[in-house]
Amino acid sequence: GSSSVGRYLLCEINVSDKSQLLLLDDRAVATAVKAAVARTHGDYGLALCTIRFSVKYLNTHTGIVLLRFPKRCYKLLWSALPFITSITTRGHNIPCFLNCLHVGGTIRTCQKFLIRYNTQQLHRMLPKCKNEEEKQQIREAILDCSLEDGTKEAFEEESESEEDEEE
């Protein structure tokens, strides 16, 4: 059916205090998304969310999260995301907002984008390094990006179970 075709939104959770990201988990993010959808689009929106919306991946160090929406209504659900102003988790209320980096038809395209984005972020950090040692660490991390680490593994785990639907 058409609800098995998905859209993957790669987002970055922006906070004022990065250490707060570590408190997050997929359920907290999913709850925040559904609450925003309910506030913005009411029962209709919330009903759409029960058709295969899920948080596919969350990295609490970088704040990167991958959301899956059904293709038919992803734009409507996406339009609720800017209304997220905080995420509640383990009793903490973390002020934040979501920044959508990329929309893809498959997890793989989002993964490819993420590697490029991570590389870009590392390049942006280079001028801020205080010494040669820090610079060298970042340069090595940039080289590693193409062979990547936990990010790639986490994505691969998921893509085995998920049907990779192409357009």
Alpha-carbon distance 16 to 125, whole Å? 18
CA distances for 9 relative to 20, 74, 80, 109, 110, angstroms: 22, 9, 13, 11, 8
Return the residue of 42, 75, 88, 149 that touches another protein, per CB under 8 A: 75
Alpha-carbon distance 124 to 91, whole Å? 34
Q: Does 113 bind another protein (CB under 8 A)?
A: no
Do the Cβ atoms of 98 and 14 come closer than 8 Å? yes
Distance of closest approach, residue 127 Cβ to another protein, in angstroms: 8
Q: Are strands 64-70 and 6-15 parallel, antiparallel or unpaired?
A: antiparallel
How many helices (H) and strands (E) in the chain? 5, 5
Applying CB under 8 A, which part among 19-27, 55-63, 81-89, 143-151 lies near another protein? 81-89
Binding to another protein by CB under 8 A, coded x per residue (else -) over 12-31, reads --x-x---------------
CB-based burial label for 24 (10 Å; 0-12, 13-18, 19+): buried
Applying CB under 8 A, which part among 47-55, 61-69, 82-90, 106-114 lies near another protein? 82-90
Binding to another protein by CB under 8 A, coded x per residue (else -) over 35-74, reads ----xx----------------------------------
Contacts with another protein, residue ranges (CB under 8 A): 14, 16, 39-40, 75, 78-79, 81-83, 85, 95-101, 103, 120, 124
